Amino acid sequence: MNAWGRMIKVFFLIFGPASAWEKIAQVRRGYGYILATYLLPLLLVTSLVEGWGLLNWGKWQPRFQVYKSFAPAEVVPYEICQALVLLITVFICALIVLRVSQTFHERNKYLEAFTLTAYAFGPILLLHLLDALPAMSPWASWAIGVVLTVWILYQGIPRILQPDPTHAFGLYLSSIFVIVLATGLSRLILGMYILGYMSFDHSYMTRVWARFFH
């Protein structure tokens, strides 16, 4: 199955979360499988589509009231950086969700927390496709993705982490807070750059990337 086909699982989670989570809980896949068949294909496809949009259509810059055109030396480092930040965010959020679950005296393992977090991130990653549109605000695509993530988390936590019923809602709210805060911070930094509020023109790493991809 190609990278586009992998995204079908995201739609199953959005439109049929209960049955989708049941299947995920039953097969109990490892880190490598989840990364290779879900997270990385999603990151690859959305990065390519968004990058194509930035190269061909540019992005509206509210600060300057113009559409900015991006060069490959700007787009490639940005997309690589964004993909790495999102991937790291998944691992960090999974660790925090695990620690939070343990405060409720649950005996979960990191793989379970990672499975829940990785699949729950699907809508947030998928909605990055909208960022290819020149007038689409990064905050709008992020907000839609977060709402869908909140929706599927409600069905995922009881099936993956299997908390005590008296602790389930507290764990659900805590997980939402962790994911919204972490993804919101990453979106703030990356969004400010793509919208023209932040510049790395004089950054040493930016000059290195520019020379490498020139």
What's the chain's length in residues? 214
**What is the pLDDT at residue 84?**
95
Number of structural domains (the chain) is 1
Q: Which residues of the chain have pLDDT under 70?
A: 1-7, 197-214
Q: What distance in Å separates the CA atoms of residue 75 and residue 194, rounded to the nearest whole number?
A: 10
**What is the pLDDT at residue 50?**
94
**What is the pLDDT at residue 4?**
55
The structure tokens listed for 205 are 């790493």
For residue 5, is it left (φ>0), alpha (ψ between -120 and 50) or beta? alpha
**What is the pLDDT at residue 39?**
94
The structure tokens listed for 32 are 């490598």
The end-to-end CA distance of the chain, in Å, is 33
Instruction: Tell me which residue range forms the domain holding 154.
Output: 3-213
**What is the pLDDT at residue 213?**
44
